[in-house]
Structure 1
């Protein structure tokens, strides 16, 4: 009996360390899994933090033009503390300039994920976001002439200054090579610009020839009807560009890729959703600054003794087109003139065929008499500019001299608006 008892005790004693060791191993494995899971979470959080800091650094600190960003909040402070409209307008312009350039950068990053054709369209669209926001604020305030002149100035700036600088720099960098672009797409864009001139020209001619059926009303009705037609035409153009005849817009770029010319190995610096988030944030901040900018236009004109037409046609578009300016020059230096035309001429087409008719329709909804009568001087300037561009693009080639001619033409236009007195009631 004693031996049996000792045997049982031995078995029980031998089993207990096995049980203890098994439970100890289970606890250790559970602690290891827990620590491993928490370590994964910490690593994921660190990666997210590093990604966020990297995105903020790339967008807000890397570009040298971002040193102008503090002028935006400074303009708002001056608006409430001093009320000096000249300085508020000046600092608002300085604050919007880097935002417009960053909009273009975020759009270029998004273009890596969408392709070149859609990327050029996005660049033109978000590049015009500044002008559209400023126009809507001015329209809401009843400043119809500021809306008309700022949009006209944006078209002139894109066609003459932006495209001229792109042709000039591209011609200098690639001298003596002659740069080429798609002649077919340039002809389509020129045709749309001429259609826009037609839509803007007829209300002005109707007004200044005094041939309206109902004075003042027929001109407005014609403008609203023509705006709806222009919006339909622009929608058809998007379908033509992106769906039915997209091969026209990809032919030259695909040929370069097949020949191995496009081998600069560019990669996006931020992700797609980061680009979309930055586009949203920057657009909201531009809308805030635009409100203070529009409120200070008249005061800046009085304090600086500069015509409102010069501020609207020359100063506002130069700041608003900062994104297009930088993008067009960059692509021209890389010998990608098709994208350059998509940015510069595409932006002018979008403003003339979409933004201006859109503002007329929005003014119709708001009860504001926004029309397409841009007055005789402005309409003649636009008509001559479109003719110059149509003649320069018909060959499908570019060089530095063509760019220089466009820049000099823009200087003539700027000087003309500096000495131009805007008097809408004058029908002569």
Structure 2
């Protein structure tokens, strides 16, 4: 960094020095015909204009280089024009199916670039805070979509999209990571830290407990106060889950041993979790990109949410399938790519940290946060995700817990998770949400 700064100083000063020398010679040449003060002022003005032009050109070069790095370094960015196209189609036509598809495709590269910007920021914050930022901004897409849906009173869409994000991370993302890592390292079983994975699975089971009891109360009709006890229990449980997650984060930040470290076959750490790499952009550039990408996702998410019901009717697909299967695939684009990349590089602990850590954050932070925000803005969102959805989550967490209990991985374990995700997807494709049908009888 010191060398680069010195180069910039030299590059910035050299035109001035050159201009100063030129100014001096001009004064000497024209000293007979013009007074020194006039020629000096003129040349100082020339110097000032030259330095301003150089500074402007330098800023533009930095901006263009940053844009090139952000949007022209990955083939997935070819989908970026889909976002403006979705807005254009929404304004000119009434084809909600096309608006939904184009919005969905447009958010994919934005979500991936948001993950990239977070990784760039991690170079300046350190691995622990960087991992927390990665998980937080990695779930920003789901949170933004949920907030837009909640403002419009689409509580079931919020619940199902959050549930789908957890299922997608645990089955699809983790399954692809284990399968890819097993294929790339087929000559041996991959190892990972069981204690770290076990803590995350424990938090997931706590989240399942928080969702299970309101659902059981609703099904058995055993509430003390019908219609209010379930909501009160959900809000109380959500506050406890937020506190538990806050303590978990504090525990992570103050205990370096809980960081996900690559391990050798004998279980010993193999060194630094991340290779010696350098950031593509500066710290302030990464902060600016985080803000801009979050804003772009927020704008496009509004079009996406508004088009969901019309798209479901146009395509003949249940809203539950769109909410649980299609939306999370978009939101988990960054996690999906990162988890596979680290697994192929035999850094399975980092892959588990990405996939399971994201699921933990959605279940223990994003979901209860939505309940609390709904409480504040007057939207009665609770933790009753209905019996079918809660049973799906319960079985998913159990399957993942049993697969990870040995601390080893191979491609067949990843394949089992992928098959489980196919079963879940098929189940929601034939599932009719009774509560949504009651609220929207014209859109079953």
What is the TM-score when the length of structure 1 is the normalising length?
Answer: 0.88
Cα 1:359–1:37, aligned 2, differ >3 Å: closer, same or farther? same
In structure 1, distance between residues paired with 2:234 and 2:376: 14
> Which stretch shows the higher mean deviation, 147-156 or 40-49?
40-49
Is 1:249 aligned to 2:291, yes or no? Answer: no
Map 1:102-251 → 2, pairs under 5 A? 102-243=113-254, 245-249=255-259
Write the distance in 2 (CA, Å) between the matches of 1:426 and 1:289: 27
CA distance in structure 2 between the partners assigned to 1:306 and 1:266 by the alignment: 44
The verdict on how the C-alpha distance between 1:309 and 1:251 changes in structure 2, with shifts beyond 3 A counting, is closer
| Contact map agreement 2:261 2:271 (CA 8 A) in 1 | no
d(CA) in 2 for partners of 1:181, 1:46: 50
What are the Cα deviations for residues 109-147 of structure 1, in whole angstroms up to 9, with x where unaligned?
111222223222211111111111111111111111000
* Structure 1 match to 2:15: none
Larger Rg: 1
Flag the 1:320–1:289 CA change in 2: closer, same or farther, 3 A: same
2:71 to 60, 66, 75: 60
**Helix, strand or coil at the partner of 2:434:** coil
Q: 2:424 aligns with which of 409, 413, 421?
A: 413
| Residues 1:79 and 2:90 are matched in the alignment | yes
Matched residue, 2:304: 293
Partners of 2:198 and 2:151 in 1: CA distance: 36
* Contact preservation (8 Å) 1:240, 1:246: no
Query: How far has the Cα of 1:329 moved from its partner?
Result: 1.0
**DSSP-derived class of the 1:142 partner:** coil
Which of 342, 350, 357 is the matching residue for 1:331?
342
Residue 396 of structure 1: how far off its partner (Å): 2.0
1:267 alignment partner in structure 2: 278
Structure 1 unaligned runs (5+)? 1-16
> Within 1, Cα distance between the matches of 2:296 and 2:156?
24
Is the CA contact (8 Å cut-off) linking 2:193 and 2:260 kept in structure 1?
A: no
Distance change in 2, residues 1:141/1:38 (3 Å): same
Does the Cα contact within 8 Å between 1:121 and 1:346 map onto a contact in 2?
no
How far off its partner does 1:397 sit? 2.0
Q: Partners of 1:58 and 1:142 in 2: how far apart?
A: 39
**8 Å CA contact 2:191, 2:408 repeated in 1:** yes
Q: 1:315 aligns with which of 320, 326, 331?
A: 326
Per the alignment, residue 355 of structure 1 pairs with 366
Alpha carbons 1:131, 1:320 under 8 Å: kept: yes
Give, in whole Å, the separation in 1 of the partners of 2:284 and 2:42: 36
Structure 2: gaps spanning 5 or more residues: 1-27, 439-444
Match of 1:5 in 2: none
CA distance in 2, matches of 1:164, 1:64: 24
Secondary structure (helix, strand or coil) at the match of 1:340 reads helix
Residues 1:47 and 2:61 aligned together = no
**Residue 106 of structure 2 corresponds to residue 88 of structure 1:** no
User: C-alpha distance in 2, partners of 1:402/1:105?
Assistant: 28
Deviations 1:222-274 (A, max 9, x none): 0000000000001001001111x22221655894337xx965x4211111111
Task: Decide whether the 8 Å contact of 2:115 with 2:334 is kept in 1.
Answer: yes
The size of the alignment, in residue pairs, is 404
How far, CA to CA, are the matches of 2:339 and 2:280 in structure 1?
19
- Conserved 8 A contact 2:318-2:429: yes
TM-score normalised by the chain length of structure 2: 0.85
| Contact 1:179 1:337 (C-alpha < 8 Å) held by counterparts | yes
Determine whether 1:401 maps to 2:415: no
1:121–1:342 CA contact under 8 A, matched in 2: no
* Structure 1 residues 178 and 37: CA distance shift in structure 2, 3 A: farther
Distance 2:300 2:200 in 1: 32
2:20 maps to: none
CA 1:26/1:178 → structure 2, altered by over 3 Å: closer, same or farther?
farther
Structure 1 residues 86 and 41: alpha-carbon distance in aligned structure 2, compared to 1, 3 A threshold = same
